[in-house]
Amino acid sequence: MSATGDLHVDTFLVSAGRPLPEPGAPVNQPVVLSSTYVADGTVNYARTGNPTWTAFEEALGGLEGGRALVHASGMGAISAALSLVPAQGTVVAPDTTYNGTVQLLEALEQAGGAVRRRHATDTAGFVSDLDGADLVWIESPTNPLMDVMDLRTVLDAARARGVLSVVDNTLPTPLGCRPLSLGADVVVHSATKYIAGHSDVLLGVTVVADDRRGAGIGERLMRHRTLSGAIAGPLEVYLGLRGLRTLALRLERASATAAELAGRLDGHPAVERVRYPGSGAMLSIDVAGDADAAERVCAATHVWVHSTSLGGVESQLERRRRQPSEPETVPDNLIRLSVGIEHVEDLWADLDQALRAAP
C-alpha cells in the first residue's frame, strides 16, 4: 500500500485533509482563527498548532510518504532544514541552487561552517565530498540550470556515511519525485509554487520519514519552527490546501505544454541552448546575445508574465541574473520559464514573437 492508500494520487489530492464525513459537517477544513485554545486539548497555543495546519500537513505528508510540517514560507522551510547543521558544520551542495539557499549557505560559511560545492551532475564528486560532512543539500532539477542529479546514488552514499540529506522537491513536486522513498531524510517545498499554485500565498513545508529516525529529525524541525516563530497563517494554509486539490490537473497540463515548447525552442534562431530536464513544467533557455537581449525578450511578452516566481497557473519568465544574489554560474543570458496552464499555441506565439523582436 502506498502513502495514499488504495487511491490514485489524483483522488487522494481531492480527498485528503478533509473533516470526517459526519452529518452536517463541512466538506472543507475551516480556517481556524484563534491564537489561544482551552487547556488540556491537542493544541494549547497557535504557535505550536492549528487544525487548519493539521489538515494541510496530513495531505502533503501523505503525498510525500512521511510527516509534513508547514512553515511561513519556502525560505522558512529551508532555514529550518539548514538548522540541522551543527555549529561550524560542513554542507555539500550543488554549485548552483535556488539563490535563497545560496545566501543561507554563504551565511553558514561566514559563521565558521564549510560548504563543499560541486556541479550537480558530478556524482562521483558529490560522493567523495560526503566524507566528514554533516549534511548534503540536493536539488534535482537544479534551479535555474535544470541539471538532473543522480538522487539514488547520492542518497545511498549519504545514508551509508551517516550524513543527513535534504532534497528541495519544489520543482518536481511529489507527483514527479518522492525523495523519502529513495532514502532522503528531509524533503523541502516552497509550497508558494506548485503546491498552492495560484501565486497568492507564501508557504513552505518540510517532510520527514514516518519512522523513529524521521521522528527525531521532525522534533528538531518543530522546535526550530516554534522558537523562531516562523509560522504560517491559517488563511494561507487553507489556500495552500485548496490549491493542492488541483495539483495533478495543473501539472499534467503545464508539463505537456513545457515538453512541446522545449521541442519548438530547440533550433530556434534566437535561442542558443534549451535547458529542459525531460519532464515537469520548468525549462530555461540561453538566448542569443547578451543580458540586454534576454531582458528585451522578457519585456516583449504579453501572455507570459515577467515575474520572479514560478509554479503558478500563469506562465512566468525572468532573466535570473537580474537578481543580485543569483550565482555567477548562471549565464547572463539565461531566461527561466515557468509554464502555466494557458493554451500552448498562445504561449508559443507570444514567446516566439518576443524572441524574434529581441535582437
User: What confidence score (pLDDT) does residue 19 get?
Assistant: 94
Mean pLDDT of 71-88: 97
DSSP string, 241-263: HHHHTTHHHHHHHHHHHHHHHHH
- 248 grid coordinates: 495533478
Q: Does residue 4 carry a pLDDT above 80?
A: no
C-alpha to C-alpha distance for 82 and 191, rounded to whole angstroms: 18
**Strands 66-71, 334-338: pairing kind:** unpaired
- Maximal CA-CA distance, the chain: 67
Percent of the chain predicted with pLDDT > 90? 95
Global pTM reads 0.95
User: Is residue 80 packed enough to be buried (19+ CB in 10 Å), middle (13-18) or exposed (0-12)?
Assistant: buried
Q: Give the three-class secondary structure for 69.
A: strand
Q: What is the mean pLDDT of residues 140-166?
A: 97
Q: How many residues does the chain have?
A: 359
C-alpha cell of residue 7: 487511491
Is the torsion defined by CA of 316, 288, 278, 148 positive or negative?
Answer: negative
Report the pLDDT value the prediction gives residue 27, as an integer from 0 to 100: 95
Residues 6+ apart with CB under 8 A from 265: 271, 274, 283, 285, 351
* pLDDT tens digit sequence for 255-285: 999 999 999 999 999 999 999 999 999 999 9
C-beta separation of 90 from 274 below 8 A = no
Predicted local distance difference test score (pLDDT) of residue 3: 57
Alpha-helical segments (H) within the chain: 9-15, 51-64, 74-82, 99-110, 123-129, 151-161, 173-176, 212-228, 234-244, 247-265, 291-299, 344-357
Q: In the chain, what are the domains?
A: 9-244 (3.40.640.10), 247-357 (3.90.1150.10)
